[in-house]
Structure 1
Amino acid sequence: MPRAVGRIKRMEVPEELREMALAPRHLSLLSFLLLDGPMTVRDLADRLEVAPTTASLLVGELSRKGVLDRREDDHDRRRRIVSVPAEKRATLERWLSPGARAWRAALAPMTRAERAAVVRAFTAYEAALGEVTGD
């Protein structure tokens, strides 16, 4: 586990994104949008398992940096749809896709039950780490 985390931290941020000071808290959000496409702030909050206000703050940060687009939902003007702008997509995919490909390669040979066990283990690890660190 420590080696895997260390490798992730060493992934070099592409030059085009360096001045944007992207933080680890942004990576999951960007990954969801790259893999699953545009979605509402509420959907992002649910997937990130954070409060909608937290997701909204993250989206605001990334929108101001030009990494995300926000637009009104055509069907409900109160909702905002968040997406990765076309001009940033290739750079973000090139940066984040190695991790997604590695997960797919690692999980593909496993049964559904084995994959579920991996998810439970990582969830338990995250919870235990939060208890130890007070997060």
Structure 2
Amino acid sequence: MSTPEPADDAVRALMLVMPRLIGRAKRTPPPEELRSLDLAPRHLSLLSMLLLDGPLTVSQLAGALGVAPTTVSLIVSELSRKGVLERREDDADRRRRIIDISQASRPAISQWLSPGARAWRRALAPLTDEQRRLFVDTLLAYESAITDIQREA
């Protein structure tokens, strides 16, 4: 029998909770009016940013999502054609476009994504700013590690 590593209790707890979290997220279907849109995780991240932060430019979205502006432009074009997003000129710089959730889609998107944001706020509320940053950094490190490990396999 091998010697347990110091983090094994935490790993065990996380290995039990992560499938439940993922399963719960998958069992939260989009509202009826959004189901035909074939929304993928990349869409949800962008919609979440707009829901939480309000209208943003393509560059701001790209920075927040950690992807190239061309990737955001493609997603925005796709969702604009479907009527989910609206693009308008930036009054301060007419070359830039401001992206926002369309008024017609906002209630359904809010109904769908807001419970998750409220749950995260409730879970993170007791933590200090430093503890919240550590938690987020740990999840990002896990994402990076699992990507590396899957590449190695």
Q: TM-score range by the shorter chain?
A: over 0.9
Per-residue deviation, 1:78: 1.4
Per-residue deviation, 1:2: 2.0
Q: Which residue number in structure 2 is paired with residue 24 of structure 1?
A: 41
Per-residue deviation, 1:100: 0.2
Per-residue deviation, 1:112: 1.6
Secondary structure of the structure 1 residue equivalent to 2:91: coil
Q: TM-score, normalised by structure 1?
A: 0.94
Structure 1, unpaired ranges of 5+? none
Per-residue deviation, 1:129: 1.9
The partner residue of 1:74 within 87, 91, 95 is 91
1:26-105 matches, within 5 Å, as 26-105=43-122
Deviation sequence 1:59-98 (CA, Å, 0-9, x none): 1111111110011112212111000111111110000011
Deviation sequence 1:36-75 (CA, Å, 0-9, x none): 1001000000000001111111111111111100111122
Q: Once the two structures are aligned, what percentage of the paired residues are identical?
A: 61
Per-residue deviation, 1:133: 3.1
Structure 2, unpaired ranges of 5+? 1-17
In angstroms, what is the RMSD of aligned CA positions?
A: 1.0
Per-residue deviation, 1:21: 1.0
Runs of 4+ deviating beyond 2 Å: none
Q: Which residue number in structure 1 is paired with residue 142 of structure 2?
A: 125
Shifted more, 109-118 versus 30-39: the winner is: 109-118
**Could you tell me which amino acid in structure 2 is paired with residue 84 of structure 1?**
I
| Partner Cα distance (1:25, 1:60) in 2 | 13
**Count of residue pairs the alignment pairs up:** 134
